[in-house]
Amino acid sequence: MARTTDDAFASQGESGLISPLEGITVVSVEQAVAAPLCTARLADAGARVIKIERPEGDFARYYDTVAGGESSYFVWLNRGKESVTLDLAQAQARETLVSLIGQADILVQNLKPGAFERLGFPIEVLRARHPRLICCSISGYGDQGPYAHRKAYDLLIQAESGLCSITGGPAEASRVGVSIVDIATGGAAYSAILEALIARGRSGAGADIRVSMFDVIAEWLTVPLLHADSGDHPRRIGLAHPSIAPYGVFPTRDGRALLISIQNDNEWIALCNGVLERPELAVDARFATNVRRVQLRGETDALVTQTLGSLDATDLIERLSKAEIAFAEVNDLHGLSRHPHLRRISVETSSGAVSIPAPPAIVDGSARRLGSVPSIGEHTASVLQALSGSRRE
């Protein structure tokens, strides 16, 4: 049962580390990626997350089987949650959900447009009944406007928003290689919920949060949109930067590829002097500013390629490091798997342990312990039994 005060933020978990959301209860009617990512972050921070699944389970359970027989998406996004299966087409299941929501601090849902209301759960009614409840509804296009009724998935929004038009190489548009719209939306929902929890600690009132995938990625596209509005529509240029030069991949003599980034004019001077060993370019008016280098991108890149292509990667890395020029190797996912900076953490599933990248935040030098990934309906009996007991009290 949720606490009636917000002192849960100072609670301490079993490991002795601070669990900032210990004592906070989340009920999430969720599927796929955006909402599960949001609630995974809440669970990582110590919240109790009760995941409501249809009897056949969240369809993300069946995207693939690469995580030791489990879905990679589901393992990543559902650690530390309790799975409760409810057939919300049935009146008794809906009554159960009403009772669970009544004991929750936070409600998250990302059903298709209008579905949650048609099931008998208008957010306005829930908030009137539970003034401290924080509700977060995630949709494709929001509640208003001509597309509000549309179902939406990650790649559809990538295409509709114009993100694909600036992604890829010159020949054709491309999908971003991860579910970036879903991920961005889940992060935005998580941030908004944390803000609402802070506000509730001051006012005692919950909140009605609405987050749309289209709004989230449109805001992320502010810079290229402003360029397009000015008449300078961004072009797809692969592994290069549309607004900065030189910033791209340069081959070395021994066949490796380094991505080099020059962020400002002082770094250009350092590159010319310490890496290219051509100090005359540092004072050449044609390349003195980033604006001019972008205008002369072909000539700029050719000058850089001429020197860098004559060096082996080891020598080039030494020069770049001494000159304090930012660079990276162009890896594939096998490179990430072997990368010396990759932090991993193990999560338990019904099929065994799976090693995944660790959550990015390190608080007070310690990583949080992650909960296990639930099987379908694993906690239905225990949650409903506890709910029945609370009703009798």
Catalytic residue ranges: 241
Q: Any idea which residue has 């280098």 for tokens? A: 293
Distance CA 294, CA 10 (A): 51
Distance CA 206, CA 101 (A): 13
**CB of 135 within 8 A of CB of 211?**
no
Secondary structure class of 260 (helix, strand, coil): strand
Cβ atoms of residues 304 and 287 within 8 Å: no
Q: Which amino acid is at 257?
A: A
Q: Helices in the chain by DSSP H: which ranges?
A: 34-44, 72-77, 91-102, 115-118, 123-129, 154-161, 180-203, 213-220, 222-229, 265-274, 279-282, 290-295, 297-308, 313-322, 333-337, 380-392
Using an 8 Å Cβ cutoff, are 251 and 307 in contact? no
DSSP tally for the chain: helices H, then strands E: 16, 11
Residue 342 is given by DSSP the state: -
Q: Containing H/E element for 49?
A: strand 48-53
